[in-house]
């Protein structure tokens, strides 16, 4: 083979190698772009609570769900820590004067009858002078978004602990109030119970009403 022919063969080989290298680089870039695109278009996983987008580009109050219903939490309420047997917990009011909002769901067909739970909540309160808490309780029945809802408003001496049950160390707490709602959801009753100092509860009345009225089916 002549020197000129050898040069032509070597030049062709160099060009072929350069094309192959460029092709590999392009292939790697495409693979990287595809992975980034997949991540960008993935929707967040569903959970107990999520953030709903507002039309102004920010996020509105968190929306929670259980038993086939959702509810919107007032913006001033703070998420509480995880508590045994609770779907969710919220803290209402100023430090040292907080009210506790507990949301319970025990599963399909669980949790007991509505009336029995209302009676249990009433039994957690006493009245000055030994008056009957049943007479002091304001109980109403509503239909919200096609769901049966029973609400209770009761003030007096709170006999149960803030954890939701009687305890040997718990002490009666006068000047307390209970705002409660039991929603007969598609997958079983959901219990919303707020307890706290009377003054804090007065300030939370409007928020509680909006909270209950926000309930709807999924």
Domain match, 117 and 71 both: yes
Domain match, 97 and 33 both: no
Burial class (CB within 10 angstroms; exposed 0-12, middle 13-18, buried 19+) of 211: buried
Which tens digit of pLDDT belongs to each residue from 51-63?
Answer: 333 333 333 445 6
Q: Is residue 116 part of a domain?
A: yes
pTM: 0.69
Domain match, 34 and 66 both: no
- CATH number at 168 reads 3.40.1000.10
Domain match, 69 and 142 both: yes
Domain match, 37 and 95 both: no
Read off the DSSP letter of residue 194: E
Q: What is the spatial distance between Cα 170 and Cα 2, in angstroms, rounded to a whole number? A: 104
Residue with tokens 């309160």: 125
Q: Is residue 126 part of a domain?
A: yes
Domain match, 66 and 172 both: yes
**What's the number of domains the chain is made of?**
2
Residues of the chain falling short of pLDDT 70: 1-63, 161-170
Q: Is residue 199 part of a domain?
A: yes
Read off the DSSP letter of residue 96: T
Going by C-beta distance under 8 Å and a sequence separation of 6 or more, which residues neighbour residue 213? 144
Burial class (CB within 10 angstroms; exposed 0-12, middle 13-18, buried 19+) of 12: exposed
Residue-level pLDDT at 81: 82
Residue-level pLDDT at 8: 52
Q: What is the spatial distance between Cα 69 and Cα 67, in angstroms, rounded to a whole number? A: 6
Q: Which domain range does residue 105 map to?
A: 61-217
- Paired with 155 in beta bridges are 177
For every residue of 35-68, DSSP letters joined together read HHHHHHHPPPPP-SEEEEEPTTSSEEEEEEEETT
Residue-level pLDDT at 125: 97
Domain match, 202 and 99 both: yes
Q: Is residue 49 part of a domain?
A: no
Which tens digit of pLDDT belongs to each residue from 176-217?
Answer: 999 999 999 999 999 999 999 999 999 999 999 999 999 999
Residue-level pLDDT at 1: 53
């Amino acid at each position: 083979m002549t020197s000129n022919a050898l040069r032509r063969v070597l030049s062709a080989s160099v060009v072929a190698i350069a094309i192959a290298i460029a092709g590999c680089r392009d292939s790697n870039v495409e693979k990287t772009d595809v992975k980034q695109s997949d991540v960008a278009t993935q929707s967040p996983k569903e959970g107990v609570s999520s953030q709903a987008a507002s039309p102004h580009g920010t996020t509105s109050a968190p929306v929670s769900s259980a038993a086939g219903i959702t509810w919107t939490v007032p913006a001033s309420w703070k998420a509480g820590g995880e508590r045994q047997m609770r779907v969710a917990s919220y803290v209402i009011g100023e430090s040292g004067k907080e009210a506790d909002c507990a949301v319970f769901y025990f599963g399909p067909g669980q949790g007991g009858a509505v009336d029995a739970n209302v009676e249990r909540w009433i039994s957690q309160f006493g009245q000055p002078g030994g008056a009957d808490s049943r007479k002091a309780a304001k109980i109403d029945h509503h239909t919200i978004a096609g769901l049966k809802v029973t609400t209770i408003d009761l003030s007096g001496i709170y006999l149960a602990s803030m954890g939701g049950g009687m305890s040997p160390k718990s002490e009666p707490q006068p000047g307390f109030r209970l705002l409660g709602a039991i929603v007969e959801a598609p997958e079983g009753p959901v219990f919303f119970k707020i307890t706290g100092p009377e003054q804090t509860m007065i300030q939370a009345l409007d928020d509680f009403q909006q909270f209950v009225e926000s309930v709807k089916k999924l």
